[in-house]
Structure 1
Amino acid sequence: MGKRVAVVVGGSVAGLACAHAVAEAGWEAVVVEKAAAPATGGGTGAGLGLDAQSMETLARWVPGWGLDAATLPLAVDLNRATDSGTKAARTLTRDEGFNFRAAHWGDLHRRLHEALPADAVTVLWGHQFLSFEAPGGDGEAGERGVVATARVLRTGETVEIAGDLLVAADGCTSAIRRQFLPELKLRYSGYCAWRGVFDFTGKEGCATMVGIRKAYPELGSCLYFDLAYKTHAVLYELPKNRLNWLWYINGEEPELTGSSVTMKVSDAMVAEMTEEAGRVWCPELARLIEETAEPFVNVIYDADPLPRLSWAGGRVALVGDAAHPTTPHGLRSTNMSIVDARVLGRCLARWGQGAPPRRALAEYEAARRPVVAAQALHARRLGRLKQGLAVDGDEKVFDARTVTEEEEEVSQLRQSSIPYFGGAPTTE
């Protein structure tokens, strides 16, 4: 038998990061992804913040990226209180040592895909994962340890992909995780997020951009959090003339169909959203929201920390949102996924081709589970704090209208309050 093979289910950022990591470890990877093609880097998409540890890791996998040119600095983490009546904003906390970078999801995905080593990674686009079996023994040299079954969407035929390890990178609604933890349910956070990307190419001098840069003068280097009563908004600039915004709104859990946590919106919903934006936010932000093409809604879920990250006798590993469904408030989802992949790859490399994968996966789980559990629970608490929802059973809720800078909760608004903010252990 030649090189060991990892079958990676899911071709989003987490899956492609895993492909890079296992290839770096000397393995081959086959990525199974139902999307017909990789992201182009365009479209409405979404923004994300990358921490220093992720940036260092990405520089290893995508050496020609030119990280400074492809991202923008988020040097400042700024939390402000907005008075919805007067529209005035006051600073609650300001952290000038933030050291994140802003990127567009589609651009990151495209660059990760283009940099995959062709001699070690195969991506099966348009293949919908159906099931898997783990018929092998201990994973010693010999028979492959896992077999995944997928449907080729273009033809309808069913194919089998054999490997030594199955990597579940199939997102927060992971079908693979559900097989091992059928009782685990995603936990609705109590709020949803309207979000969008405003493209101002050729519009830098328009009234909307002039107004927004006046109201948010540090765009291009600052992550803005505006907190109003029982709601908050996020705004930051992306490369290529784009502004990314999110607006979290408390409410009952919507009914969703299928496995997506993104909800289709009607013209009436958009009209209601823009009207409410004018009531809650300053005119400049409300106008930006109103003029954004194709805004959409994410229903925000997370889950209690998983009891394990590896299964089936060490032949299945969970990574990314499959391993730690999290709310977005700590800017953790993508960053945790990248470090998951990095640690998994390093563990596989350390144990080498001859050892059964279960040994590497045991080390991966020991390194990552405490980190992702602590970060996901912190992100949950931070979201409830900013949304004015009860935290840890406390009857008193955070109210941005009346809170003072000296109160303990204000310091907790900073992103740097999250566990392992300075970097998680990588076993290196």
Structure 2
Amino acid sequence: MGEKEMKKVVVVGGSIAGLSCAHAFLKAKGWEVVVLEKARSVSSAGAGLGLDPEACNALKDWGIGDGLLQQSLPLSMEENRAIDSNRQAHIVARDESYNHRAVHWSDLHRLLYNALPAGIVQLGHEVISYEEESGVGPDKEPQVKVRVKKVAGSDVENNIQEYTGDLMVAADGSMSQTREKHFPGEKRRYSGYCAWRGVLDGSTECNAAAMVRRVYPDLGRCLYFDIAQGTHSVLYELPGGRLNWLWYINQPEPHLKGKSVTVKADEKALAALHEQASKTWVPELATLMQATTDPFINAIFDREPLSKFVWGRVVLVGEAAHPTTPHGLRSTNMSIIDAYTLGNAIQNRRLQGIDAALQEYESQRVLVTAQQVLFSRHLGQLKQGLLLPEKFSWISADQKIRSGLLQQNMHSF
């Protein structure tokens, strides 16, 4: 890639993966960046997530490390506890070198968004098609033409725009239209369970928060997993005294509308959840769940790993490349690291050209992300009891089997 002229990248999707790619290409220098996002405003929705050291280092390299420290809390340890039939907790596996950071999705998204120069992210722009053309650019290299519908546009005649780039990055999520084009009819894989998710505001629900802190004494620095018969839950703290929780429940695949993976809970479902919580979890966690306003249901899916992420000048990143279950805390981490790896490859292969950079990116990310998708799937099945005999007990299991619950096993899976 020559130094004389700017190259242009069109990023499809303005979630964390897409915004991370914008930062990565700006860091690589020599690139004009545009991010096309269907949503008309920056969302404040979502829930908690954990960032690993590699993702944190990428954010630091993009100049937003200080902002991350202000918006997150440490997750320095992981603790797995088995809950017996009397709702008593027994520690069965613990990692005191976990070294992640807890942050709310919307806080991280806004941090990435606000750190970009104005005009890069085009909100209200829905991509409807793209095509690659060979030998049409000034240097006779391929270009990608992306057609966009302006969601907020009122003038029908001017409602369609076209963006031309030297490269298109597809960061369009787990239901990626770009991926669908190359794998028509590919189905997402339902895990066999859904997750109830909620965030309790500890500043307003002081009594419930105080009760929970007494029995989860390392909240604020620990990622807790409680495992009962055929189910498990997650608990950790976010900045501002917010307590983020999930509860995974085995069930048939729910009826979902369109591409959504979330379901709004009705009063009947919520009442059933509260009743079952009081029979399953330690009383303090049950109280936390009952005190949380507006929890929602998230159906859990992934897809089979791909053997390639690149087609010509079109490249997949994030959930478009490797939709995963959440048990290894990998989805956001993989998205950020995809972007960081791609940006570094673009910079490292500046003289060899875009195709060499894409080949380097693909060679570094395909196998490692496949491993992480499959381990996350395995960990979810393990904690949901789907791989275990009916009367299996984590409390009486030997230490080697217990240690299989820890996320540190991912890289040896």
What amino acid maps onto 1:368 in structure 2?
R
Name the counterpart of 1:369. Answer: 366
Instruction: Please state whether the residue corresponding to 2:66 is helix, strand or coil.
Output: coil
RMSD between superposed Cα atoms in Å: 2.0
Tell me, in whole angstroms, the C-alpha distance in 2 between the residues paired with 1:105 and 1:420.
28
**Aligned equivalents of 2:6 and 2:201: distance in 1?**
45
| 310 and 420 in structure 1: CA distance in 2 versus 1, 3 angstrom threshold | farther
On the 8 A contact 2:57/2:65 being kept in 1, the answer is no
Contact 1:93–1:405 under 8 Å retained in 2 = no
Contact 2:82 2:92 in 1 (8 A): yes
| Aligned residue number for residue 21 of structure 1 | 24
Please name the residue that 1:255 is paired with: 255
Report the AA paired with residue 303 of structure 1: R
1:357 corresponds in structure 2 to 354
Q: 1: CA distance between counterparts of 2:390 and 2:234?
A: 17
Match in the other structure for 1:74: 75
Q: How does 1:262-341 map to 2 (within 5 A)?
A: 262-311=262-311, 313=312, 315-341=313-339
Distance 1:202 1:252, change over 3 A: closer
Q: Offset of 1:377 from its aligned partner?
A: 0.5
Q: Does 1:6 align with 2:9?
A: yes
Deviation digits for residues 250-308 of structure 1 (CA, Å, limit 9, x no counterpart): 01111211112112322221121111111111111111111111111111111111121
The 5 Å alignment of 1:2-151 reads 2-26=5-29, 27-40=31-44, 45-63=46-64, 65-83=66-84, 85-118=85-118, 122-137=120-135, 141-142=139-140, 145-151=143-149
Secondary structure (helix, strand or coil) at the match of 2:120 reads: strand
Give the letter aligned to residue 190 of structure 1.
G
Partners of 1:101 and 1:303 lie apart in 2 by 26
SS for the counterpart of 2:41 is coil
Amino-acid identity (%) = 48
Amino acid at match of 1:298: N
CA contact 1:62–1:112 (8 Å) conserved in 2: no
Separation of aligned partners in 2, 1:361 and 1:234 = 37
Cα displacement (A) at 1:47: 0.3
Q: TM-score if structure 1 supplies the norm length? A: 0.90
Note if 1:384 corresponds to 2:381: yes
The CA distance in 2 between the partners of 1:365 and 1:241, in whole Å, is 40
Q: Distance in 2 between matches of 1:49 and 1:400?
A: 30
Give the aligned partner of residue 424 of structure 1: none
SS in structure 1 of the partner of residue 411 of structure 2: coil
Deviation for aligned residue 1:62? 3.4
Distance 1:57 1:184 in 2: 32
- Give the TM-score taking structure 2 as reference length: 0.93
* Equivalent position of 1:393 in the other structure: none
Structure 2 vs 1, CA of residues 375 and 139 (structure 1 numbering), >3 Å: closer, same or farther? farther
SS at match of 1:363: helix
- Among residues 332, 337, 342, which one is paired with 1:344 in the alignment? 342
Letter in structure 1 aligned against 2:91: T
Question: 1:64: Cα distance to partner?
Answer: 6.2
Structure-2 separation of matches of 1:402 and 1:53? 31
Question: Aligned ranges for residues 163-174 of structure 1 at < 5 Å?
Answer: 163-174=165-176
Question: Does the 8 A contact of 2:14 with 2:35 survive in 1?
Answer: yes
Check whether the contact 1:71–1:102 (CA below 8 A) recurs between aligned residues: yes
| Aligned equivalent of 1:236 | 236
Query: Aligned residues, how many?
Result: 405
* Conserved 8 A contact 2:67-2:111: no
Q: Name the counterpart of 2:211.
A: 211
Q: 1:332 to 1:359 in 2, by over 3 A?
A: same
Tell me the residue number matched to 2:222: 222
Pick closer, same or farther for the CA change 1:243–1:103 going to 2, 3 Å. same
Question: Which sections of structure 1, spanning at least 5 residues, go unmatched?
Answer: 391-395, 422-428
Matches of 1:286 and 1:2 in 2, distance apart? 60
Q: Which moved more, 1:179-188 or 1:354-363?
A: 354-363
Q: In structure 2, the residue corresponding to 1:90 is in which secondary structure?
A: strand
8 Å CA contact 2:22–2:35 kept in 1: the answer is yes
**Match of residue 402 from structure 2:** 410
Cα distance, 1:130 vs. partner?
Answer: 1.0
Residues 201-249 of structure 1, C-alpha deviation per residue, up to 9 Å, x if partnerless? 244xx32122111121110010000000010000000011211101000
In structure 2, C-alpha distance between the alignment counterparts of 1:399 and 1:259, rounded to whole Å: 37
* Residues 20 and 61 in structure 1, CA contact (< 8 A), matched pair in contact too: yes
In the other structure, the counterpart of 1:425 is none
Structure 1 64/307 Cα, relative in aligned 2: closer, same or farther at 3 Å? closer
CA contact (8 A) 1:139 1:356 kept: no
Report the 3-state secondary structure (helix = DSSP H, G, I; strand = E; otherwise coil) of the residue aligned with 2:301.
Answer: strand
Structure-2 separation of matches of 1:297 and 1:139: 47
Aligned pair in 2 of structure 1 residues 194, 183: CA closer, same or farther (>3 Å)? same
Matched residue type, 1:100: H
The superposition leaves residues 8-41 of structure 1 with CA deviations (integer Å, 9 ceiling, x where unpaired) of 111000100001001111212111111112235x
- Distance, in Å, in 1 between the alignment partners of 2:252 and 2:112 is 37
Contact 2:59 2:65 in 1 (8 A): no
Q: CA deviation at 1:74?
A: 0.7
Match of 1:246 in 2: 246
